[in-house]
Amino acid sequence: MFDSLSDRLNGTLDGLRGKGKLSEDDINKAMREIRLALLEADVNFAVVRDFVAKVKERAMGAEVLDSLTPGQQVVKIVHEELTSLMGTSGAKLSFANKPPTVILLAGLQGSGKTTAAGKLARLLAKQRKTPALVAADVYRPAAIQQLQTLGKSLQVPVFERGTADPVETAAWGIEQARAQGRDVVIVDTAGRLSIDQEMMDELVRIKQKVKPHDVVLVLDSMTGQDAVATAEAFREAVDYDGVILTKLDGDARGGAALAVRAVTGKPILYTSVGEKLDQLEEFHPERMASRILGMGDVMSLIERAQEEFDEKQAADMEAQLRRGEFTLEDFLDQLRMVRKMTRGQGMAGLLGMLPGVGRQIKNMKVDERQVDRVEAIILSMPPYERRNPKLIDGSRRRRIAAGSGTNVQTVNQLLGQFKQMQKMMKQVGKGKMPQFPGMPRR
């Protein structure tokens, strides 16, 4: 969603980075380009005006004009102001001292609210919470069934009473969750195609009845300025605590994400970056600012790795490396782990989280099917061949190629790449730094 904005901002800032001295004219031109980039991204006009004024004021100060690297200082200022625009630190849900914590989800129909309820339940379950879901959207056809399907896939209970009064259903569902010892209850409320008084009145009644610890607004980030208007209307009616931004993987302009906090004063808690249940992430303003400016997001990459790589697996792998063992089965396991880390965003999305890499791979075609081919080739080998690749002679290679739907050349390439990786892993296991071209030898 931020690709276009990122390209425009980086193009402007690149023009400043290499300059040893900046003039007032240089800064004015850069501010004009930044203003246009933000407006084209559908950021609220008043927000853009204030943002550019703050950046310009700081850019004209001594910290830039007297600096030996003025261009880098301007980049630093833009990063800090972008972070401040979206919220200076990551906001979090408030959990009750005495469970269950009640989270009330609100939003318009089509914003992805019911799916967000399932994603949030999954995320909280990974954080060792025991969530439950309550179906209080009794108007939209199949809303209850959708929530039940999500709950079943997550092994999370869903409490529903059909088309009974949604206010009473919400209160009843919370009591059921309390009786089962659940420590978090997520209430999915009804939305409408547009804001109306009936929907708001019902939401207010549910809020008064169940007294939630958190009211969270689910906003469709692809609706641009309408998302900000929706956020303001809900704030006036129910005074929510934070926002979940959905559809951040879309190709629409992403101004809502930048403007919602500045306009409403409410923090963004989570962002949804895809349709799968594992594609909900805690929102960190400074990390998002870094991604927009092409600086990568190493912390999020580390967190994904920690989630996917189990401590026992890591210890077993370390022991194998110390013994100088690394087989094609290990290679396949690592490949699958990395694929899980992509969370449906592809290898390009994962690599883009590395500093300086994102912009380089932007126009590079990453063949996602290559991973499928590697997996097919390895799975076409019996276990003893995966553990002893030296056994794989010409006839075996022809058999593997036929079994995997590839050709002998592709099998040869994989085995050659594996041999190089095996050599590198042995060096790591012996505590030596692997040698790459251009690196000084020790």
Indicate if 77 and 108 belong to the same structural domain: no
Q: Using CA atoms, how far apart are residues 304 and 196, in angstroms rounded to an integer?
A: 40
Q: What does the pLDDT read at residue 270? A: 93
Residue where a domain stops, chosen among 86, 121, 144: 86
180 found inside a domain = yes
Same domain, 148 and 81: no
Residues 284 and 389 in one domain: no
Residue at which a domain ends, from 52, 86, 120: 86
Does one domain contain both 211 and 114?
yes
Number of domains, the chain: 3
Is 247 within the bounds of a domain? yes
| pLDDT attached to residue 332 | 83
In the numeric block, which tokens belong to residue 14? Answer: 């690149």
Q: 266 and 411 share a domain? A: no
In order along its 442 residues, the chain shows pLDDT tens digits of 567 777 788 888 887 877 778 888 888 999 999 999 888 888 888 889 999 999 999 988 877 777 768 888 888 888 889 889 888 776 889 999 999 999 999 999 889 999 999 999 999 999 999 999 999 999 887 899 999 999 999 999 999 999 899 999 999 999 999 999 999 999 999 988 788 888 899 999 999 999 999 999 999 888 777 888 888 889 988 889 999 999 887 655 667 667 888 888 899 999 988 888 988 988 888 888 887 777 655 566 666 666 666 666 666 666 766 666 778 888 888 777 777 776 655 665 665 555 555 555 455 555 667 778 888 999 999 999 998 888 999 999 999 999 999 999 999 999 988 888 777 777 765 655 444 344 344 4
Which of 86, 112, 128 finishes a domain?
86
Judge if 23 and 114 occupy the same domain.
no
Give the CATH number for residue 188.
Answer: 3.40.50.300
258 and 334 belong to one structural domain: no
- Burial of 162-195, coded b for 16+ CB within 10 Å and e otherwise, reads eeeebbebbbbbbebbeeeebbbbbbbbbbbeee
Does one domain contain both 178 and 36? no
Helix-helix angle 3-17:70-86, to 10 degrees: 150
Domain-located, residue 351: no
The answer to whether residue 173 is domain-embedded is yes
Closest CA to 241 of 269, 201, 221, 272: 269
Let me know whether 329 and 280 are in one domain: no
Q: Are residues 59 and 106 in the same domain?
A: no
Q: Is residue 258 part of a domain?
A: yes
| Domain presence at residue 438 | no
Residues 56 and 202 placed together within one structural domain of the fold: no
Domain CATH code at residue 47: 1.20.120.140
Residue 321: which domain range?
310-344+364-429
Identify whether residues 129 and 233 lie together within a single domain. yes
